[in-house]
């Protein structure tokens, strides 16, 4: 059976009395109230830009009229380099003087930017913390907001249209002389966060062709003096209209977009070049057929003259072997004539345009040279037969009968002159023609000589026979015989 107390409020009173004792045991002393020792004059924030020598000054005075030891530190702003790696703020933003004596007259704190590296564009925020640099000081620390603005590449326009030209169709040889984004100010190549190995954006056309746009790594200035960011197109598939967006980081880490339109086409001169090349090829083909090919045929005909002469020379050598006529030769003369003929043929090709002028003097002169050489070669093969005929005509009959007075043992002058044609010598082609005519005439003269000689010999025999019958003749017949 449970026993209940008759006074239930007894224990509650004890608990109420014990609570203050417990709370007093756990309580800690309250912190002492800090004293205001610094006072900022007419400036509640610090604004800086990421430019070499950018500076802001903060005026501080003693709030209680006493001298204090001031220490100013810049808190972390979250500064990052171009690839996103955190940077120590103390290396790039300097606070001076550090530390300094603060009097009632006041003090200026200088915050200066020393830009020595590329920083990711954006707006960085932090605080300038001022505190009393003294042991046991109860001065209140004062924070002044600090804002650092790092401006990136700021385009001068949000729309840009350029033209790209291809040197050769179906090739990747593109040129874009006007591919540059105008900027609102010059670009610092040493500290810019732009990278030339990362695309600024891309473009594409309706057919699915695409290309990447890269910064070339430099900058240029237009004729109007405007700074420009030169870009290049990589992987451009073919001609067409391309559209895309370029992202240029700017202040606030927001992307400044530039709408890029690229009109890609083959160079205007290419169709003209194609037409010109076609015309040129047509003219070349016409010249080949009418000039080059014709000249080649003429040269082949000239070369064939050598084979023809070899055949004629073979006949001549066989027909004049072991005779004085073997010294006849037209080799040197024919060599010179053929050389001159080849020069005339070459001159035809040099001076001709689309066809040979067959009615002109050079062409007719070349034909005449061909005819002259051909006739000489043909005549040379027959010349040996003419010499053989002359040799036979002179040797068919020996000279008989009593020679004229004082010419005993001598060959008649006519026969001697004719026989001189059988002695060979070097001839020109003109000499060959004349000598051949002389040999033909000599053959006829030799044959006529022997015919006349036979008749004279027979008439002499008749006279001698009649002289034996002179005693039987009448006086008149004897007179006529003596006269004959």
More confident residue, 92 or 138: 92
User: For tokens 């073979």, what's the residue?
Assistant: 314
3-state secondary structure 33-46: CCECCEEECCCCCE
pTM, full prediction:
0.43
User: For tokens 């020069």, what's the residue?
Assistant: 343
User: For tokens 């019958």, what's the residue?
Assistant: 469
Distance CA 243, CA 205 (A): 6
Q: What digits encode the pLDDT tens for the residues 181-193?
A: 898 878 777 767 7
pLDDT at position 449 over 80: no
Q: Which CATH number is associated with domain 38-150? A: 2.60.40.2310
pLDDT at position 331 over 90: yes
- pLDDT given for residue 410 in this prediction: 57
More confident residue, 402 or 34: 34
Distance CA 232, CA 179 (A): 7
- pLDDT given for residue 267 in this prediction: 80
- pLDDT given for residue 237 in this prediction: 80
Instruction: Please give the average per-residue pLDDT across 346-369, as a whole number.
Output: 87
More confident residue, 470 or 212: 212
> Domain ranges in the chain?
38-150, 159-267, 284-378
- pLDDT given for residue 93 in this prediction: 83
Give which of 343, 322, 351 is closest to 424, Cα–Cα. 322
Cis peptide before 97 (omega within 30 of 0): yes
More confident residue, 323 or 471: 323
Distance CA 123, CA 120 (A): 10
Determine the 3-state secondary structure of 472 from DSSP.
helix
More confident residue, 233 or 82: 233
- pLDDT given for residue 99 in this prediction: 74
Residue 61 and residue 39 in contact, taking contact as beta carbons nearer than 8 Å: yes
pLDDT mean across residues, the chain = 79
Instruction: Please give the average per-residue pLDDT across 359-367, as a whole number.
Output: 91
Distance CA 92, CA 360 (A): 90
């Amino acid at each position: 059976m449970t026993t209940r107390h008759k006074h239930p409020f007894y224990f509650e009173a004890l608990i109420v009395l014990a609570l203050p004792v417990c709370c007093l045991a756990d309580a800690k002393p309250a912190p002492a109230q800090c004293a205001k020792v610094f006072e900022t004059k007419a400036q509640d924030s610090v604004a800086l830009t990421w430019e070499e020598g950018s500076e802001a000054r903060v005026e501080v005075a003693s709030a209680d009229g006493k001298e204090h030891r001031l220490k100013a530190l810049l808190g972390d702003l979250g500064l990052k380099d171009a690839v996103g790696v955190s940077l120590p703020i103390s290396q790039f933003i300097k606070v001076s003087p550090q530390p300094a004596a603060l009097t009632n007259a006041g003090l200026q704190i200088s915050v200066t930017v020393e830009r020595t590296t590329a920083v990711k564009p954006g707006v960085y925020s932090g605080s300038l913390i001022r505190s009393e640099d003294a042991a046991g000081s109860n001065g209140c620390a004062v924070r002044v907001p600090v804002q650092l603005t790092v401006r990136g590449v700021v385009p001068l326009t949000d729309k840009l249209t350029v033209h790209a030209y291809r040197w050769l169709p179906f090739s990747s040889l593109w040129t874009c002389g006007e591919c540059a984004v105008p900027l609102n100010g010059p670009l610092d190549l040493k500290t810019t966060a732009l990278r030339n190995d990362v695309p600024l954006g891309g473009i594409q056309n309706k057919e699915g062709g695409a290309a990447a746009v890269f910064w070339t790594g430099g900058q240029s200035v237009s004729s109007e003096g405007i700074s420009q960011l030169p870009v290049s197109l990589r992987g451009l598939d073919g001609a067409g209209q391309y559209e895309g967006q370029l992202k240029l980081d700017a202040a606030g880490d927001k992307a400044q977009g530039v709408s890029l339109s690229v009109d890609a086409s083959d160079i205007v001169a290419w169709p003209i070049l194609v037409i010109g090349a076609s015309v040129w090829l047509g003219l070349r083909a016409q010249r080949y057929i009418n000039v080059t090919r014709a000249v080649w045929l003429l040269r082949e005909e000239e070369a064939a003259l050598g084979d023809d002469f070899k055949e004629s020379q073979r006949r001549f050598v066989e027909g004049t072997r072991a005779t004085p006529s073997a010294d006849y030769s037209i080799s040197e003369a024919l060599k010179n004539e053929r050389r001159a003929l080849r020069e005339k043929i070459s001159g035809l090709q040099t001076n001709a345009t689309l066809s040979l002028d067959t009615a002109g003097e050079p062409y007719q002169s070349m034909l005449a040279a061909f005819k002259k050489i051909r006739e000489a070669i043909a005549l040379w093969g027959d010349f040996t037969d003419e010499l053989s005929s002359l040799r036979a005509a002179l040797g068919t009959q020996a000279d008989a009968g009593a020679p004229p007075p004082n010419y005993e043992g001598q060959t008649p002058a006519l026969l001697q002159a004719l026989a001189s044609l059988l002695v060979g010598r070097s001839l020109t082609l003109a000499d060959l023609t004349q000598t051949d005519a002389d040999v033909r005439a000599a053959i006829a003269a030799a044959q006529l000589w022997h015919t006349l000689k036979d008749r004279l010999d027979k008439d002499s025999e008749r006279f001698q026979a009649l002289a034996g019958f002179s005693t039987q003749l009448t006086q008149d017949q004897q007179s006529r015989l003596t006269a004959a």
